[in-house]
């Protein structure tokens, strides 16, 4: 489980195709690799992936040792998330798994991406940005004003909703410490709807007796 509070912006250092459509992704980050357990879950732009290796390597710019971890992404993950588009140099939001006793600063995020949202419009305000995203009808019914949504792993509050689109307001801090600040119109992001909205919709679908 995660909270949608990004703790680092990593960079894809290598993309290594493996057998059966599997791809190994090496992610450079500021995390101390000694604190990353093999088998630990890390949210990578909202996608829950399992660390399978870790280490340190010299940075090409500073020469200082920089931490990294590796994860394996299966064909289905590559198909239904933006992970299939990641290349060396791609920046991704990172969050370590929630531990018992940690502060729950965002909302409960499972790291199970529901689909993709497309940035329809961006309005740059004073130190902030209003972003409008389009989603498919199957997901739009789970999104409500003042509800929560995770976009590329970032916990956000929905401001307004239309039939197939919704808007969020991104504060200066979030623009500075996540990849959302660099999004341009047409960009695709991973979306995970609020788990509570999903369960509520499922309960309403059940026939009454």
Long-range contacts of 48-56 (CB under 8 A, 24+ apart): 48/2, 48/110, 48/111, 48/112, 49/25, 49/73, 49/77, 52/24
8 Å CB contact between 83 and 67: no
Q: Is the pLDDT of residue 34 over 90?
A: yes
Q: Can you name the CATH fold of 8-96?
A: Elongation Factor Tu (Ef-tu); domain 3 (2.40.30)
> In sequence order, what are the residues at sequence separation of 6 or more whose Cβ sits closer than 8 angstroms to the Cβ of residue 7?
94, 95, 96
Q: What percent of the chain has pLDDT over 70?
A: 90
Model confidence at 78: pLDDT above 90: yes
Identify the burial level of 83 via C-beta atoms within 10 angstroms of its C-beta, where 0-12 means exposed, 13-18 middle and 19 or more buried.
buried
Class of the CATH domain delimited by 115-203: mainly beta
**What pLDDT is recorded for position 5?**
95
pLDDT computed for residue 62 by the predictor: 55
Mean pLDDT of 191-202: 77
Residue 56 CB contacts under 8 Å (≥ 6 apart), including other chains: 33, 65, 66, 67, 68
pLDDT of residue 26: 97
User: Which residues in the chain are classed under CATH 2.40.30.20?
Assistant: 8-96, 115-203
The per-residue pLDDT for 57 is: 83
Count of CB atoms within 10 A of residue 196's CB? 13
Question: What average pLDDT does the chain have?
Answer: 91
Q: What's the rounded Cα separation, in Å, for the pair 38 and 153? A: 21
Would you say residue 14 has pLDDT above 90? Answer: yes
Mean pLDDT of 60-81: 86
Q: Is the pLDDT of residue 127 over 70?
A: yes
């Amino acid at each position: 489980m995660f909270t949608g509070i990004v703790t680092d912006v990593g960079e894809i250092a290598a993309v290594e195709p493996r057998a059966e459509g599997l791809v190994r992704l090496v992610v450079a980050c500021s995390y101390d690799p000694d604190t990353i357990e093999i088998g630990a879950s890390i949210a990578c732009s909202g996608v829950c992936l399992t660390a399978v290796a870790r280490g340190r390597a010299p940075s090409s710019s500073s020469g200082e040792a920089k931490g990294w971890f590796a994860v394996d992404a299966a064909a289905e993950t590559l198909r239904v998330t933006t992970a299939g588009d990641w290349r060396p140099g791609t920046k991704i939001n990172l969050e370590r798994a929630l531990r018992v006793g940690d502060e729950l600063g965002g909302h409960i995020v499972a790291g199970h991406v529901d689909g993709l949202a497309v940035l329809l419009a961006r309005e740059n305000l004073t130190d902030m940005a209003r972003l409008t995203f389009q989603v498919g009808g199957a997901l739009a019914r789970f999104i409500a004003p003042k509800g929560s949504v995770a976009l590329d792993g970032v916990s956000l509050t929905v401001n307004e909703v239309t039939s197939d689109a919704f808007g969020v307001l991104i504060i200066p801090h979030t623009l500075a410490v996540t990849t959302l600040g660099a999004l341009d119109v047409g960009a695709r992001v991973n979306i995970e709807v609020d788990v509570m909205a999903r369960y509520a919709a499922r309960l309403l679908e059940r026939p009454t007796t």
